[in-house]
Amino acid sequence: MPFSHIDEAGRSKMVDVTEKQITNRAALASGYIYMKRDTLDKIISGNIEKGAVFEVARVASVMSVKKTAELIPMCHPLNITGVHVDFTPEKEKSRVKIDVKVRLAGQTGVEMEALTGVSVAALTIYDMCKAVDKDMVISDIKLIEKSGGKSGTYKREE
């Protein structure tokens, strides 16, 4: 299958979605940020000097979802109708799981928006905690599921 963002002459292009059906679409992405146990304890107890880490990261995630088309060259500007961001501290693994679900009624999917939301949430956590832990690692950012559109439903098999 040829790449949809390359024309016959090998030039980059944005896919034309003009004729595509408007459908309800959703995507869920997730990722992790690993940190020292003490850092995770400080986040949970609200003892990070810069403030409420998860709430700032949640707002950053939502903002980034809405600006994905400004960051990823071939993404379409979208009328996002819903963003849900969850943080799950996992003390035994000294990490935080980040889940971002994005929804809209539109002509193209929201996978890139969900992945961007996870990435920026993780980067925001790093930024807010780097004074106490520069060894944090962001990893495993991936699409978990998506629905809507011509290709239908996708669910990652783990």
| Active site amino acids | 127
**CB of 99 closer than 8 Å to CB of 115:** no
Gap between the Cα atoms of 63 and 36, Å rounded:
27
Strand-strand pairing, 95-106 and 23-34: antiparallel
The whole-angstrom separation of Cα 153 and Cα 148 is: 6
Rounded Cα distance between 66 and 118, Å, is 13
Q: Is the Cβ–Cβ distance between 146 and 26 less than 8 Å?
A: yes
